[in-house]
Amino acid sequence: MGSKRQAVVVTHSRLRESGTVVSEAVEQLRACGFEVSIIDNVEAPEFGVQPPVVSDDTEIVVVLGGDGTILRAAELVHCTQVPILGVNLGHVGFLAEFESFQMEEAIRRIATHDYSIDERMIAHVDVWLPGHSTPIEDWALNDITLERADRGKMVELSIRVDDVETSSFGADGVIVSTPTGSTAYGFSAGGPIIWPNVKALQLVPLAAHALFARPLVIGAESTFTLDILDDSMSDGWICCDGRRQRALPKGTRVEVRASRDTLRLARLSGVPFTERLVSKFDLPVVGWREHARANHADVRTHHGHVFPASADPAGVVGDPPASPDEEGEA
């Protein structure tokens, strides 16, 4: 008789204590022949320290929680071939594949290998402290933030791409994100959304004290180099995926490039990223002009009185004609 299939469930203690969803998922996995181990409240490791990972014979890591829990689980499979499947019990759950009410279907698909693998690019970071001859290495699935350590001052940064200086400014900091992270912190700071199949890194300045500090997007073969200037008003602070972090003194150099490793997400076949984007962000696919036209079609008003669309009073049918100067404006 062969050994049992191995699955790891990653969640957090609040979910285990507040309901039955975690215990039900574990029971269903065991009923499908899996030997299940549970990991919750994964503490953030120190910056530059690789935490223990799941064993090589693990077939899949099932994440019950939100995107933050998936980022914790990513540390458990870093540099392995073990895939992650997310079941969203959080808010947006952009990285998750299933919602909580689909738990039974999710486990059935795991048991029958009815899923595909989506390989996500991750970023590698080298931190060169002043006077050190070797870097501290870390990585990120979502983003790497380099921010001011002193809340009341700016951090002065030099930005280079492939060793060519592109800009220099004081700022609250910068975000370097992967395509996966482009819908997270970078998006909130005004960066573009990058589709996951695009091999690129983006840099988004945070409140830069400069006229032309705009987001940059570079290819996967290029490298961002961020120098904290010696005369910076503040030291720096680096954080990977909102978890692994440390202080950086003035004179530190940070290099970010695409990693050779990837993260493997278990996905349904044929669910496009665009569909996920529209549904998770509830995008307004109908513009305000279309809403206005629809409202005008239903109801007209004249001197404070409401008329059905079929009884338009003279002179108030729809909008007035656009003047020549207004034609074509958004």
Query: Residue 172 annotated as binding?
Result: yes
- The total of other beta-carbon atoms located within 10 Å of residue 171's CB is 20
Query: How would you classify the pairing of strands 244-248 and 236-240?
Result: antiparallel
Residue listed under structure tokens 């992270």: 181
CB neighbour list of residue 151: distance below 8 Å, 6 or more residues apart: none
In total, the chain counts a number of residues equal to: 330
- Residue 295 annotated as lining a ligand binding site: no
180 pairs with which residues across the strands?
none
| Residue 209 C-beta-side C-alpha neighbours within 13 Å | 11
34 is in an annotated binding site: no
Q: Is 235 a catalytic residue?
A: no
Residue 154 contacts residue 233 (beta carbons within 8 Å): yes
On whether 68 is known to bind a ligand per the annotation, the reply is: yes
187 annotated to a ligand binding site: yes
List Cβ neighbours of 26 (8 Å cut-off, separation of 6 or more): 9, 36, 38
Alpha carbons 127 and 176: distance in angstroms, whole number: 14
Asked whether residue 143 is marked as a ligand-binding residue, the answer is yes
Does the annotation list 67 as a binding residue? yes
- The one catalytic residue in 40, 57, 67, 114 is 67
The total of other beta-carbon atoms located within 10 Å of residue 135's CB is 15
Confirm whether residue 152 is marked as ligand binding. no
- 207 is an annotated ligand-binding site residue: yes
Q: 183: annotated binding-site residue?
A: yes
Binding residues for NAD(+): 67-68, 72, 142-143, 153, 172, 183-188, 207
Active-site residues, by number, are 67
